[in-house]
Amino acid sequence: MGIFILKCWQMLLLSCGLAVWATGQCTAQSDTLLQQANRQYTLKAYGRAIELYTQLLTDSAAKLTAEQRITAQANRAHAYQLAGDLKKAEQAYAEVTTATELTGPQAVVYLHYAQTLASNGKYTESQSMYEKYNKLRAKTAEIERPVLVGSGTGGIGKKTPTRYRLEVLALNTANAEFSPMYYHDGLVFVSGKKGSAALETASKGGGSSYLDLYYVQDRQQLNVSQIIKADGTLVKPVSKAGPKNRAESLRSRASANDSRTIGGYDGVSISEGLRYAKGVQPFSKSINSRYHEGPVSFFNDGYRMVFTRNNYDGRRVRQSSEGVTNLKLYTAVQQSGTWTNIEELPFNSNDYSVGHPALSKDNRMLFFASDMPGGFGGTDLYVSRNENGKWTKPVNLGKEVNTKGNDLFPFIDERGNLYFASDGRKGLGGLDIYYAPLVDGVAAGPVEHLEAPINSDMDDFGLITDGNRTGGYFSTNRQKGNDDIFRFVRESSLYGCRNLTLRFYDEVTQQPIDSVVIDIKAQGEGQKSRTVVTKKDGLVQLCLESNNDFIFRASRDSYVTSTVGFSTSSLTDDSPSRLEVALNQPPKVIDTVQYAPPRPNDNDGWDIADSQKARIRGTVMSEKDRKPIEGVTINLKNDCDGAIRQLVTGSDGRYEFELTEGCDYTLSASKERYGTNTSRIRKIGSKATAKVLSADLNMLRVGDIVQLDNIYYDLDKWTIRPDASRELDKLVATMQKYPLLTVEIRSHTDSRGDAIYNRYLSAQRANSVVSYLASKGISRKRMIAAGYGESLPLNNCTNDVDCTESEHQRNRRTEFKVLSIR
């Protein structure tokens, strides 16, 4: 026997953050200093780490290898970024990325550089770095397109295994049942009874006597003897209460390959001595002979077929020159319920075997297995094309599919993709089932190994399914070493992730928004977040881990941050999803003066003549210290007729205007180096009881430092607490009121603790405030974060000075300094 018959066919083919990289070699002194720097970096002592890395990089005597220098440069840049010094971080990242092309794990530097550029308001440059990072990651296969998100155990970018439920069919017997094939509403499969035969097999599985084709007319009515759940546990099927009350859990969902065409079969009795389940019968006595038949494949009309048989012409068995009876492919046509006109295919040979047919949906391509000369291994997969009614010379599917082992049992789904079995790849054991995407019969992607429980440590082969792999059938000898047919039902997403398209657009203009930064967080412990950025079309493509919940936080300069949730829980279909997300620009704030009864001392120092006339009056004061401001120009515009009245404040900062009842007004106060304060005055009705409006105006000046009240943080934390957010919302309103205001957000600590760490902590807190304001739509270009640590106390509570807690609290503050305003 040749190895083809003995082994591969088994009787008719028969049964079956930035890591610290390696430091390399350098002088002992440099090595020690680098180790110290790396240690400080790891301990998050970024100030000390920056000092050590800078010393290393500027000391000409330090003999660093090229990789050590890159490590030091990259870690220093990241330390600057984490410490909140984003300008120096940008310079450091520019230095390391222009000096050399970073690859492998070093490519994360481009990601950190992109984040820094975005924080500095350089969105075009940031997008360029993001794209460079994604391209490098794609080359090393660390991510896939679309971007994979999820998996708490495996980290971002890894797929979760597809879950399947297996059902052991009751049609299985002590004989071998394998290689099922769809035929109308039923199944045709190969089976044989044990006993002596002229052709034996040397390996496990398969029949040890002659094999025939059998048929089940309605596969949806197949009984199940055992269920293997997705978690591997075994359960018994629910007993039937009656012929019309079959448990739905025992039925596979209909597949796209299922045909509703009524098909015929030869109505002959069950072979003598074979005990099969109810409804199982020999497929055709004109096809089944006293030699081996099967596997089989059907043309899409159901009236033509291609099947495997020993080299037998109906009268005698023919052998090769070495005395081996090989396998051949034959065609047959159904006429009046009988299969006739059995003919050989033109590429058969007496000297090698050809078998295991698999027809494409359009019948144009026939795939099969053969050990013909010129292959890569024991048996290879080939394709022949039907051109003008004739089959062309077979073409090997190539090394992308075939191996040095045995590749056989092909099946082509409705989309033209290939499933096959192989023992020449690294699998779980024996024959395993693989999937390969094909385009016009040519491999168009990597071969995929199907997960357990489809594959096992035994032989698994002969799988058939639909184009979405929602369910199907396959053969395995995992139970008692005997070939059986299992049904499988997919219970999760096929690819382990859900395709989602996010589109961001301006709610007012309806135009797409580019450079939207989306922070993606999967729920659950151990989950990492990742960041993606939209392009000009406002789109981003994601592939989300199945059975998880996700939060998308979308932010962009000058837009209010939006948060959107999405869940892949309980989704088993693989249809892509799409979310349209509208972003809003922050509203322009103009104060509206409210009318109120006169205050007890409202007339102190004011002219009370004509008190019955409607009027507005108030004092212009500094936002910083609430002192009156002299020389402020006050304009009052009557919106009824456009008339403008004007005055300039004196040393008391006061102003007063008469108002015409029934008209709206616009009040503005301006002075050089101050921000213009604009307010709206709603019209006074003729029946209004309050005729006098009190409107004190506060103004900001360049250089003013204004402390924010009640900005507290948890110990050693920089997260914005709810009580702090209420105070920060007042600053948001101020930034909205003065659209040209730029500020420095300044954070301070008390003198207790390490000075370097205090500066780092204060920088993180200042960054948190900037991020909060940005989430409300305030442009990052208008804000600079600065952490001063303990360097600018408001009192004498410096190191070694004994102070009360309230005195220390005074130094723990957050404030903003006006850098420019108009």
Sequence-distant (≥ 6) Cβ neighbours of residue 216 within 8 angstroms: 171, 186, 187, 189, 222, 279, 280
What is the average per-residue pLDDT within 773-777? 88
Q: What is the per-residue pLDDT across 536-566, written as a single tens digit (0 to 9) for each?
A: 889 988 888 777 788 898 988 888 888 888 8
Domain spans in the chain, listed from the N-terminal domain onward: 28-142, 164-490, 497-583, 591-699, 705-820
* pLDDT value at residue 604: 55
Mean predicted lDDT score pLDDT of the chain: 79
* CA neighbor of 463 nearest in space, from 179, 798, 47, 224: 179
**Contact call for residues 496 and 168 (beta carbons, < 8 A):** no
Q: Inform me whether the pLDDT recorded for 254 exceeds 50.
A: no
User: Residues 480-510: pLDDT tens digits?
Assistant: 888 999 999 988 777 667 788 899 998 888 8
**What does the radius of gyration of the chain's CA atoms come to, in whole angstroms?**
39
pLDDT-derived band at 119, boundaries 50, 70, 90: confident
Residue 372, strand partner residues: none
Residues 120-144 pLDDT 10s: 877 678 777 877 877 776 665 433 3
pLDDT digits (tens, 9 = 90+) for 166-202: 999 999 988 899 999 999 999 999 998 533 322 222 2
Beta-strand ranges (E) seen in 26-87 are none
Indicate the class that CATH gives domain 591-699.
mainly beta
Q: What is the pLDDT of residues 391-416, one digit of tens each?
A: 999 999 999 899 999 999 999 999 88
CA 298-299-303 angle, to 5 degrees, is 85
Mean pLDDT in residue range 6-17: 37
Q: How confident is the model at residue 37 (pLDDT cuts 50, 70, 90)?
A: confident
Q: pLDDT tens digits, residue range 729-762?
A: 889 888 888 888 899 999 998 888 888 999 999 9
pLDDT of residue 475: 96
User: What does the pLDDT read at residue 271?
Assistant: 34
DSSP 11: T
Say if domain 497-583 classifies as CATH 2.60.40.1120.
Answer: yes
Sheet with 338-344: list strands edge to edge: 293-298, 304-310, 327-335, 338-344
Give me the mean pLDDT over the 45-53 stretch: 85
Tell me the average pLDDT across 657-682: 88
The pLDDT, as a whole number, for residue 291 is 81
Which pLDDT belongs to residue 418? 96
Reading across the β-sheet that carries 448-449, which strands appear in turn? 407-412, 418-422, 432-436, 448-449
Q: Which residue has the higher pLDDT, 160 or 798?
A: 798
Give the pLDDT of residue 250.
Answer: 27
- Lookup result for tokens 């590429």: 347
| 130 vs 574, more confident | 130
pLDDT score of 275? 46
Question: What's residue 31's pLDDT?
Answer: 56
Under 8 Å between Cβ of 308 and 293 = yes
Assigned CATH topology for domain 164-490: Neuraminidase (2.120.10)
Q: Count Cα neighbours of 435 within 13 Å in the Cβ-side half-sphere.
A: 20
Q: DSSP letter string over 307-368?
A: EEEESB-SS-B---TTS---EEEEEEEEETTEEEEEEE-TT--SSS-EEEEEE-TTSSEEEE
Any long-range contacts for 589-592 (C-beta under 8 Å, 24+ apart)? 589/733, 589/736, 589/737, 590/678, 590/679, 590/680, 590/737, 591/677, 591/678, 591/679, 591/680, 591/737, 592/679, 592/680, 592/681, 592/682
CA distance linking residue 267 with residue 283, whole number of Å: 8
**Mean pLDDT of the region 597-614:** 56
Instruction: Reply yes or no on whether the pLDDT at 340 is more than 70.
Output: yes
What separation in angstroms does the CA of 293 have from each of 380, 454, 692, 700, 748? 20, 26, 105, 93, 85
Q: What are the backbone angles phi and psi of residue 90, rounded to the nearest 5°?
A: -60, -45
- Identify the CA nearest to 787 among candidates 809, 817, 818, 758: 758
Q: How confident is the model at residue 513 (pLDDT cuts 50, 70, 90)?
A: very high
What integer pLDDT is reported at residue 434 of this predicted model?
96
The backbone torsions φ and ψ at residue 126, rounded to the nearest 5 degrees and listed phi first, read -65, -45
pLDDT value, residue 150:
59
Quote the pLDDT of residue 25. Answer: 37
Contact 99, 73 (CB under 8 A): yes
Question: What is the predicted pLDDT for the residue at 156?
Answer: 39
pLDDT at 723 over 50: yes
Per residue in 791-817, pLDDT (tens digit) is 999 899 988 888 988 888 888 888 999
The CA-atom distances, in angstroms, between 741 and each of 55, 186, 662, 732 are 39, 75, 34, 11
Q: Which residue has the higher pLDDT, 239 or 473?
A: 473
Count helices and strands in the chain by DSSP H and E runs:
10, 46
CATH number of 28-142: 1.25.40.10
CATH 3.30.200.20 fits 705-820, yes or no: no
**Quick check: do 591-699 and 705-820 share a fold?**
no
Question: Which range (129-133, 155-159, 422-426) has the least confidence?
Answer: 155-159
Please, which residues have CB within 8 angstroms of residue 233's CB and are 6 or more apart in sequence?
none
pLDDT (0 to 100) of residue 186: 94
Lowest mean pLDDT among 82-86, 206-210, 495-499, 520-524: 206-210
Decide the pairing of beta strands 280-282 and 432-436. Answer: unpaired
pLDDT of the residue at 83: 81
Which residues are registered as beta bridge partners of 226? 168
Asked whether the predicted pLDDT for residue 304 surpasses 90, the reply is: yes
Nearest to 629 by CA among 615, 648, 613: 648
Tell me: the pLDDT tens digits for 238-247? 755 444 332 2
Top pLDDT among 438 and 160 is at: 438
Note the pLDDT of residue 572: 59
